[in-house]
Amino acid sequence: MDGVNDYDYLFKILLIGDSGVGKSCVLLRFTKIKTIDLNGKQTKLQIWDTAGQERFQTITRNYYKGAQGIFLVYDVSERDTFDNIQNWVDEVKNNTEKAVTMLLIGNKCDLVNKRQVSTEEGEQLAQNLKMCFLETSAKDNTNIAKCFQVMAGEIEIKLSTDENEIDNKKIISVTEGKKIKKRKIC
Ligand code: GDP
């Protein structure tokens, strides 16, 4: 599947977060462009890294342009990077026109003895922000492929859904032919 047009979907996905959280390593693990199978549809993921621009707070609107998915990455062994996630969410919202799919990633989960942010805190934040959450390790390859698969699935759902807010919980109606399936986000 290396041709130009041999895919059903093409998703632009960004990695965002403080410097040093492991964005480039996550990307290297997965490689920059990959085609995955999504319910039988060949889906090409084009993944962009900030290339260190975040250090100078110079991420341009161009970087965000056309993105369907954004990974918000923090380092479980550096609390500051977790505390900064809300700022990144605000930055994304200020720079994107349509609602993009965001997914929270706690990277470096292999650093068991240096952990400063618990899994429960990550889950709680993701729930507050109404997004999926995964802990990863680019070092030992934990959940790397899975986070891209989850992201692609969430984008696809968003593309084909109506969203309803029910009791403050986000419920998504997924239309599958004539059947309507109700699904709660993660
Ligand atoms: P970026 O600035 O967010 O792109 O971060 P980098 O990908 O350059 O990684 C910063 C540092 O964290 C490097 O020294 C990496 O080797 C290290 N690193 C990245 N991911 C992991 C991980 O999952 N576990 C551990 N232990 N170190 C990691």
Question: Using CA positions, which residue lies closest to atom 15 of ligand 1?
Answer: 22
Of ligand 1's listed atoms, the one at least distance from the Cα of 111 is 26
**pLDDT, position 143:** 96
Q: What is the dihedral of CA 173, 178, 179, 183, to 10 degrees?
A: -20
Helices 144-159, 23-30: inter-axial angle, 10-degree rounding: 90
Q: Nearest residue CA, atom 22 of ligand 1? A: 108
18 contact partners, CB below 8 Å, separation of at least 6: 54, 74, 75, 78, 80, 81, 84
Split at pLDDT 50, 70, 90, the class of 101 is very high
Q: What is the pLDDT of residue 5?
A: 64
Render pLDDT for 49-81 as a digit per residue (tens, 0 to 9).
776 676 666 667 778 888 999 999 999 999 999
Task: Report how far residue 84's alpha carbon sits from residue 86's, in angstroms, rounded to the nearest whole number.
Answer: 6
CATH 3.40.50.300 fits 10-172, yes or no: yes
Query: Residue 107 Cα, ligand 1 centroid: separation in angstroms?
Result: 8
d(CA 159, CA 80): 33
Whole-number pLDDT of residue 17: 93
Residue 169 has pLDDT above 70, yes or no: no
> Are 74 and 40 a contacting pair, CB within 8 Å?
no
Question: Which whole number is the average pLDDT over 144-173?
Answer: 67
Select the more confidently predicted residue: 129 or 57: 129
**Reported confidence tier of residue 110, pLDDT bands at 50, 70, 90:** very high
Cβ of 138 closer than 6 Å to ligand 1, yes or no, is yes
Domain boundaries, the chain: 10-172
Tokens of 58: 């110079």
pLDDT (average), residues 148-157? 91
38-42, 85-89, 117-121, 148-152: least confidently modelled range: 38-42
Q: Retrieve residue 66's tokens.
A: 């056309």
User: In this model, does residue 7 exceed pLDDT 60?
Assistant: yes
Report d(CA 22, CA 99) in Å as an integer: 25
Q: Decide: 111 in ligand 1 pocket, CB within 6 A.
A: yes
Q: Which two tokens stand for residue 104?
A: 């929270």
Whole-number Å distance between alpha carbons of 182 and 175:
9
Ligand 1 centre to CA of 158 (Å) is 30
> Does the Cβ of 29 fall within 6 Å of ligand 1?
no
